[in-house]
Amino acid sequence: MYTAVASEAGSAIFLVENAYDRQLVIGFTAPLVMLFEVSDTDSPKLLIGFGTVKVQGETGIYFSHVEPGSSIFLAVDEHGMQEIVTLQTS
């Protein structure tokens, strides 16, 4: 099992090798956590179906993602999300 801890800002970005089939990310202070697979930066994927673990006022997520090779994930709680007011391309 791969484990990671969220930052105080409410996010965790991590690389999971194919040696791990279960992941646990802990340390979120908000109950709502979103999980993205961001290996392809042009096409990030919002993942659903993960388990939520609540212990001593913190939230964690538990999930499986069995893919060949490695994958990059971003987990973020509501404190780590920011509203985008203006979006422009360069």
Q: Where are the domains of the chain?
A: 2-77
DSSP 41-62: TTS-EEE---EEEEETTEEEEE
Mean pLDDT calculated for residue range 21-32: 90
Mean pLDDT calculated for residue range 51-56: 91
C-alpha–C-alpha distance, residues 25 and 19, integer Å: 17
The verdict on pTM exceeding 0.85 is: no
pLDDT at 51 over 90: yes
Topology of domain 2-77, CATH: Immunoglobulin-like (2.60.40)
Structure tokens at 66: 């069995």
* pLDDT top residue among 42 and 65: 42
